[in-house]
Amino acid sequence: MALGEFELIRRFFENPGEHSESTIIGIGDDCAVLQCPPGMELAVTVDTLVEGVHFLPDVDPESLGHKSLAVNLSDLAAMGAEPRWLTLALTLPTADENWLKAFARGFFALAKQYRVDLVGGDTTRGPLSVSVQAMGLIPAGQALKRSGAEMGDSIYISGVLGSAGLGLKVRLGESSVAAEDAIRRLEKPEPQVRLGQLIRGIASACIDISDGLAADLGHILSASGVGATLQYEKLPLTTEVLAWQEATGDLSLPLMAGDDYELCFTVPRNAESLLNLRLLEQGLKAYQIGRIDQEPGLRIYRHGQKVGLTSKGYQHF
Ligand code: ADP
Ligand code: MG
């Protein structure tokens, strides 16, 4: 690399912002040293984005910087965690300064928004891939899990579905409907960090939608040992997704397409008024789309008719 490894780390990734007091040692030593406050538990997640698998080779590096962090913050949100620290493992074919500058801009804009510290990482040469590890804090015993949904619970979704899937179709040249909003949602998803913390103590189960509603709600159902019935008409959809459905007759995007990074969670009936109060107080939204029932599996109705499901969302193997 023309730009040396250590120079690269210093220029683009070291201390661009202020660090919180709980970051005792950040970038520059052999390990980061972090302080977990008493009464809190540490939530840890890692996600890798690989060129050609998770993003197209011509992706805008600023969007990639945003998205590689957003998908991890979304996992923390799904557990009800408050994001605190990050590590970043970058594998780069070349040290292209313009590329790195744009990547860092997207990455740190989102990191700053949630006041998370980048405290370490790894930099190697090879085919482009980005791994971000995110760490967050949860009051002891309050993590939101996939298990815990019970018969009668309402199923909620935090926002629109199928838009990222439509954005991908546009990027791949498979759709000609106008879809600026869909592309923005595909490339710059907004993790539901505040909502995840708001539903702690209210939701009985929670997951973030990375592989499609059918697949991810399916994980809640199997972890909880229950089934569910959804009302398709209740799914929040953008006008762009509605236009796509109108043009193609394809109803599968909101159920099967991945990358939306909304939260799907279940709420016992007796906690729904508290949910609505908190949402109102915080200016956040969630949409009730169905109910947990006893019969295993997922049933979806649209205008009283059953909608067939053919595949199970995105799977790597
Ligand atoms: P070591 O050889 O001990 O693993 P490195 O030489 O790989 O350390 O990294 C030097 C320092 O820079 C470490 O603190 C490491 O965490 C940090 N670092 C390396 N790459 C990155 C990166 N892409 N982003 C943030 N910090 C990084
Ligand atoms: Mg070392």
Is residue 296 a contact partner of residue 227, using CB atoms and an 8 Å limit?
A: yes
Residue 310 confidence (pLDDT): 62
Q: What average pLDDT values come out for the chain (317 residues) when binned by 10 residues?
A: 80 79 92 96 97 91 97 98 98 94 97 96 96 98 98 98 94 86 95 98 97 96 98 96 92 93 98 98 98 95 86 52
pTM score above 0.85: yes
Residue 1 confidence (pLDDT): 47
Q: Is the CB of 28 inside a 6 Å radius of any atom of ligand 1?
A: yes
Q: H-type helices in 41-96, by residue range?
A: 61-79
* Distance from residue 60's CA to the centre of ligand 1 (Å): 24
Q: Is the CB of 90 inside a 6 Å radius of any atom of ligand 1?
A: yes
Ligand having the closest approach to the CA of 12? 1
Residue 4 confidence (pLDDT): 85
Q: Is the CB of 31 inside a 6 Å radius of any atom of ligand 1?
A: no
Residue 130 confidence (pLDDT): 98
For ligand 1, atom 10, the nearest C-alpha belongs to 28
For ligand 1, atom 20, the nearest C-alpha belongs to 122
Q: Is the CB of 13 inside a 6 Å radius of any atom of ligand 1?
A: yes
Q: Which of 277, 296, 298 is nearest to 201 (CA)?
A: 277
Q: Is the CB of 27 inside a 6 Å radius of any atom of ligand 1?
A: yes
Number of CB atoms found within 10 A of residue 63's CB: 20
Q: Is the CB of 174 inside a 6 Å radius of any atom of ligand 1?
A: no
Give, as one character, the DSSP assignment of residue 235: S
Residue 3 confidence (pLDDT): 79
Residue 206 confidence (pLDDT): 98
Residue 312 confidence (pLDDT): 47
Give, as one character, the DSSP assignment of residue 306: E
| Ligand 1 atom having least distance to the Cα of 26 | 14
Ligand having the closest approach to the CA of 122? 1
Q: Is the CB of 95 inside a 6 Å radius of any atom of ligand 1?
A: no
Burial of 85 (0-12, 13-18, 19+ CB in 10 A): buried
Number of CB atoms found within 10 A of residue 36's CB: 12
* Distance from residue 85's CA to the centre of ligand 1 (Å): 15
Residue 293 confidence (pLDDT): 96
* Distance from residue 30's CA to the centre of ligand 2 (Å): 4
- Give the DSSP letter string of 97-120: HHHHHHHHHHHHHHHHHTT-EEEE
Choice from 3, 9, 64 to test ligand 1 binding pocket (greatest atom count within 8 A of CB): 9
